[in-house]
Amino acid sequence: MSAAGHVAALSPVYPGSADAAGQRATLGVLGGGQLGRMFVHAAQRLGYFTAVLDPDAQSPAGLVSHHHIQTDYHDPAGLAQLAELSQAITTEFENVPAQALQALALTRPVAPGAAVVGIAQNRIEEKAHFAACADLAGVSCAPYAVIETPAQLQAVQAERAELLPGILKTARLGYDGKGQVRVQNAAELAAAWAELGGVACVLEKMLPLMAECSVLVARGWDGQVVSFAPQRNVHVDGILAVTHAYEGNMPPALADRAREAAVSIAQHLGYVGVLCVEFFVVDDGSAQGGLVVNEMAPRPHNSGHYTLDACDASQFDLQVYTLAGLPLPEPRQHSPAIMLNLLGDVWLNAGGGQREPDWRSVLSLPGTHLHLYGKAQARPGRKMGHLTITGPDVARVKAVARRAAGLLGLPGLDDL
């Protein structure tokens, strides 16, 4: 059963075209962060005009778009203006209000739709969806329990001891390690739920992790699906630090299962757009490990940024193609790559003051591609940019990545 929740598929919106009144083909996006910025760049490179709705006057995407509608996501006038300007509309983050997507979908094609974004916004619904399509996707999610009431908390403490040690996660608005507390026993579980404000949560059993990976899938209005090979990810303090994207980054059979599962999940949702599905590789006694689906993001993903420099079609190109109803090319990776996330910490010295990273030395390294997002203020943990390293072979990419990470003081490269 489809959860896409969008209007009928649009007629293709071709690059550089114009309507009878002379209005250029325009693609709209809710959200003005770095993902919106990279979508805008991809759309503009093809010849589309772009429109961004974001309340921040200095939003990275708004600063580079043809139109910046500076309003709140709930503002009816702003949404109406976005719909008037745009032939089709997407979103760059999953926490955009579902009501905004529903309102836009009354008059314009919106991808992904409100229903599927709503699933990704709520871990309870997301887990239920993964459980429902486990047979179809061929992988399961971690054992879990829903905690929304004191009675459910007591029931878990009394009857689900196998879930401890575990991770208590808020059902909504948790990302990059936020809204998550590790708990060892029933007493810590109760304290953590109180600390999180007694909001709806999911308790997940803590699994013996061997690795983490993600798969990017693009699905069109007509059901055509293409995907990238899985990338292996390293997180530090709950935030992505390094993405390894090259042949041999994980066992081939496991990579094939992850790719097939991600495609199945997108098909089961009736999804339109770019979808990222994240997986845990867990120690199940086998040499390669077992695969467990963790969560999904209904948008391009931080772990897919390497595609801008290592592939002939990036995740943002595919976001444009899917939204505009264009044929989807099967993306081809032409170079092995490692992506290093650049957080605000790179701009801060030991005393907390600002410093400028040594870009001269970093950019003198072969195969380095720097992407900064146009954010004026660096803060600890804030995503300011990324550095992708490409090269003719994996050994040289790893060597340059180690040197770049050393120059920038980056963590997460212990396995290189």
> Known binder of ligand: residue 31?
no
330 annotated ligand binder: no
Hey, what are 165's tokens?
Answer: 């040690």
Domains 26-121 and 143-205 belong to one CATH topology: no
Please indicate if the annotation marks 127 as binding a ligand. no
Lowest-confidence segment of 84-98, 132-146, 277-291, 312-326 by average pLDDT = 132-146
Instruction: Phi first, then psi: give them for residue 49, nearest 5 degrees.
Output: -80, 160
pTM: 0.93
Q: What is the reported pLDDT for 5?
A: 43
Q: Is 175 annotated as a binding residue?
A: yes
Which residue spans within 206-332 are E strands per DSSP?
A: 209-219, 225-227, 231-236, 239-245, 273-282, 290-297
170: which strand partners? 201
Q: What is the pLDDT of residues 361-393, one digit of tens each?
A: 999 999 999 999 999 899 999 999 999 999 999
Mean pLDDT of 266-272: 94
The answer on whether 32 is annotated among ligand-binding residues is no
Q: How confident is the model at residue 6 (pLDDT cuts 50, 70, 90)?
A: very low
309 is in an annotated binding site: no
Q: Is the pLDDT of residue 330 over 70?
A: yes
Region for 47 from its dihedrals, namely left if φ exceeds 0, alpha if ψ lies in -120 to 50, beta otherwise: left
391 a known binding residue?
Answer: no
Q: Please report where in the chains the tokens 């009501």 appear, as a residue.
A: 99
- How do residues 251-262 score in pLDDT, each as one tens digit? 999 999 999 999
> What class is the 209-408 domain?
alpha beta
Whether residue 68 is annotated as binding a ligand: the answer is no
Residues 125-175: tens digit of each pLDDT: 999 888 887 676 678 889 999 999 999 999 999 999 999 999 999 998 766
Segments in 220-292 forming alpha helices (H): 252-269
Q: What is the CATH number of domain 26-121?
A: 3.40.50.20
Where are the domains positioned within the chain? 26-121, 143-205, 209-408
- 169 known ligand binder: yes
Res 415: pLDDT: 66
pLDDT digits over 214-249, tens only? 999 999 999 999 999 999 999 998 899 999 999 999
Determine whether the annotation assigns residue 56 to a binding site. no
Report whether 256 belongs to an annotated binding site: no
Q: Is 398 annotated as a binding residue?
A: no
Q: What is the pLDDT of residue 177?
A: 60
The answer to whether 237 is annotated as binding is: no
CATH number listed for the domain at residues 143-205: 3.30.1490.20
3-state secondary structure 345-403: HHHECCCCCECCCCHHHHHCCCCEEEEECCCCCCCCCCEEEEEEEECCCHHHHHHHHHH
Is 383 marked as binding a ligand?
Answer: no
45 is in an annotated binding site: no
